[in-house]
Structure 1
């Protein structure tokens, strides 16, 4: 009898050590992949340096925004951003369409504000044709050209200038990798407002379940959309909202490892491994709602080129919406 007790105890110890060892392996594997996708940006705009009042780069609307929001217009000294205090933060998602021998353009620009105290995320697109100053390039151009001119750094600085608000983190996603990520999550469910045919695929009106390739095509079509680029932006947010919602439900380390392996060559971000852990352990359960808004504007041709013009008043409105959500 005692022999069986010894055998069972020994077997139990082996199992426990095996599970612990596998858990340690998974942890190290996830950590390695997280380090692989990490890519810092310009030291002048470190993601952990944030002012909740004003970006150090001033937009042309600063004085007007100060009058509208009651701010003095002065820039506060940036303070270290500590996720352990569950502070709200901002994220710029860049969907990059890269081609051979071409740096590409940020085909998609989505801005997120995350506030665990309000249990919500605010999300909106910055239309790709938005006319604005390209910071560091000395030109006024379409905002998505900033990536072609100066990569992530110039894109971040230009968005901070346009919104007059700091970007705490960025996530750059190659659009093909976007499709792989969706497949890894088991696809996405969307409600299509109208039927359309695009690049060999028929998308019927109503509720649809899309795999990665289908979701990528669904998010890219714009010329047959009555709302043009704004309609496409809405479809992109539909898909991103689904991905965020699904991601917030993940608690399994094996699933996290699988996802990171799948997107390891398609994503770059300045979110560190430690911050990823904090999101998973401290933020995930507090985020229950995703609200979506749009930046209003109008199209205009200037010297034969079509731009999306956003008024100073609209930029002030969006700036104040960001500020209010993060308070």
Structure 2
């Protein structure tokens, strides 16, 4: 064999081995970062099952004050699933409150997402606390576990997964994604930033301020919720894009310090590579209610009919069967 051919084959072999080693290193680094984010729920309630109103045979609903039965294998099985996203402003020596509560219903077979906020001032029973209060206080009293159980009771529907994000970490992720594009419905200034009406490209700090502004919005918390849903929609779209997947290592490393979730590394991989790219539509709905003061404290009141309407939308969206893995 000629010397040049041996050298060429040798160089090719070194490149292949080097590429394989680098791929293994990146995979291990990503897995390590994802594992740092993984925090399973510490409270598991016994299942109390009732038949869904929408034709039966669907997901188990929640009865009484107990949680229903979440399906932690839903992603790996390509089944429809729900996610509770908690945006938490944490302070020194204070657990903080879940100032943002967004529920996602994901249907891989249809390639669709249903998304809605639960307003932070919503009055409901805090499960494990034994009294009614603002729903965002559940995190302050009982962390993720009380928040999940309270939301499940409020919606009468189980949450398969949760994602808890420190809002300061949210800004880092936006910067790593190269910013986020939004369509701003109103002109306003907040925390030293001017947000003109129309199409905007926001960096992390700007996106955080954009998500936080409430009192100058004519719709108050509902207006802020709409902006937060739009931000989350755009961030997810960028994260599952080809460009976003190339940045998965630094994003997860940054997220490992700021995010807690019970989604495993394998399920993250399945979502990013198999389910995420097939999502083609996000429908955003609003939880309707009215504000009132009780004993001098402001609450957002959502009546039973409205809760049943939202639950019906979720159940209908989740009824489509799983796609083939």
Do both proteins adopt the same fold according to a TM-score greater than 0.5, normalized to the shorter chain? Answer: yes
Three-state SS of the structure 2 residue aligned to 1:84 is: coil
- Residue 169 of structure 1 corresponds to which residue in structure 2? 161
Three-state SS of the structure 2 residue aligned to 1:181 is: helix
Query: Offset of 1:301 from its aligned partner?
Result: 0.5
Query: Offset of 1:285 from its aligned partner?
Result: 2.5
Query: Is residue 58 of structure 1 aligned with residue 58 of structure 2?
Result: no
- Residue 33 of structure 1 corresponds to which residue in structure 2? 33
Question: Aligned residue pairs: how many?
Answer: 310
Q: Using the TM superposition, name which of 253-262 and 203-212 deviates more.
A: 253-262
8 Å CA contact retained: 1:26, 1:254: no
1:69-108 alignment, distance < 5 Å: 81-108=73-100
Looking at structure 2, the residues matched to 324 and 263 of structure 1 have their Cα atoms a distance apart, in angstroms, of 32
- Residue 124 of structure 1 corresponds to which residue in structure 2? 116
Looking at structure 2, the residues matched to 194 and 77 of structure 1 have their Cα atoms a distance apart, in angstroms, of 41
When residues 267 and 250 of structure 1 are mapped into structure 2, their CA distance, relative to the original with a 3 A threshold, is: farther
Q: Using the TM superposition, name which of 227-236 and 260-269 deviates more.
A: 260-269
- Residue 316 of structure 2 corresponds to which residue in structure 1? 324
Three-state SS of the structure 1 residue aligned to 2:133 is: strand
Q: Using the TM superposition, name which of 273-282 and 27-36 deviates more.
A: 273-282
Query: Is residue 248 of structure 1 aligned with residue 240 of structure 2?
Result: yes
- Residue 44 of structure 1 corresponds to which residue in structure 2? 44
- Residue 18 of structure 1 corresponds to which residue in structure 2? 18
Query: Offset of 1:83 from its aligned partner?
Result: 2.9
- Give the TM-score of the pair, scaled to structure 1: 0.90
Q: Give the 4+ runs in structure 1 shifted more than 4 A.
A: 75-80, 251-254
Q: Using the TM superposition, name which of 80-89 and 316-325 deviates more.
A: 80-89
Structure 1: tracts of 5 or more residues without a match: 61-74
Three-state SS of the structure 1 residue aligned to 2:116 is: strand
8 Å CA contact retained: 1:27, 1:253: no
- Give the TM-score of the pair, scaled to structure 2: 0.90
Query: Offset of 1:14 from its aligned partner?
Result: 0.1
Post-superposition CA distance 1:12-49 (Å, at most 9, x none): 00000000000000001101111111001125159xxx
When residues 317 and 253 of structure 1 are mapped into structure 2, their CA distance, relative to the original with a 3 A threshold, is: closer
8 Å CA contact retained: 1:55, 1:161: no
Structure 2: tracts of 5 or more residues without a match: 52-57, 320-325
8 Å CA contact retained: 1:86, 1:282: no
8 Å CA contact retained: 2:74, 2:160: no
Looking at structure 1, the residues matched to 68 and 167 of structure 2 have their Cα atoms a distance apart, in angstroms, of 37
Three-state SS of the structure 1 residue aligned to 2:30 is: helix
When residues 191 and 56 of structure 1 are mapped into structure 2, their CA distance, relative to the original with a 3 A threshold, is: closer
**Alignment partner for residue 251 of structure 2, among 259, 275, 282?**
259
Looking at structure 1, the residues matched to 161 and 167 of structure 2 have their Cα atoms a distance apart, in angstroms, of 19
8 Å CA contact retained: 1:54, 1:164: no
What's the Cα RMSD here? 2.1
**Alignment partner for residue 137 of structure 2, among 145, 155, 159?**
145
